[in-house]
Amino acid sequence: KFSTLENTGALTLLYYDSIWIPAASMTPTATNGGVTGTKEFATNDINGDYIAFDTATEQYAEFQLPMPENWDRSTIKAKFFWSPTDDTGSTANTVEWGMVAGALSNDDPFDAALGTEQVISDTILAGESGDLHITAATPALTIAGTPALGDLSHFKIYRHVSGTDDYGANALLWGVLVQYKATNTVAAW
């Protein structure tokens, strides 16, 4: 979508873009961290790195990145790519995923509070552990702090077992797709 700014005649491009964060780029937390691993699907030798999240204990993984310079510094959304570990569930079972985030500017303490969590629930598909599951988008998530150009954004993701999650085995997270709105002009450094 294109829009013309009033009184200036400047043209601004408004669009959405996304960033893929694979599980291999995430770090399980030291306290209640998920467990990393690699799974091979035997028929075609397809391999994927994952983080396994427990069914009873809320476990976490984190990643950091400077958001793209054209990000509008507003809310974001995420989709979780995952699979069940076994076929003991049913299509009536659900897994819930959550995310919180915060922005760190130059000279900010690393140990800053993160924003309000957003959670999305996903239903187990008929193919269970053999199928990739992709959640719907989370509700809009606010990155805590006051995000500014060049900040380091810190994300914490987890399996939200204290909600309606009722799948009785580990869930394997393959990665997260983060969507943001792009409206800012990128200038040379």
From first to last of its 189 residues, what are the pLDDT tens digits of the chain? 444 444 455 555 679 999 999 999 999 999 999 999 999 988 999 999 999 999 999 999 999 999 999 999 999 999 999 999 987 777 889 999 999 999 999 999 999 999 999 999 999 998 888 899 999 999 999 999 999 999 999 999 999 999 899 999 999 999 999 999 998 788 888
Between CA 166 and CA 152 the distance in angstroms is: 34
pTM: 0.90
Q: Which residues of 122-143 are buried (b: 16+ CB within 10 A; e: fewer)?
A: bebbeebbeeebebeebeebeb
Q: Write out the E strands in the chain.
A: 2-4, 11-13, 15-22, 27-28, 35-41, 46-53, 60-66, 77-84, 94-104, 118-123, 133-134, 152-159, 171-182
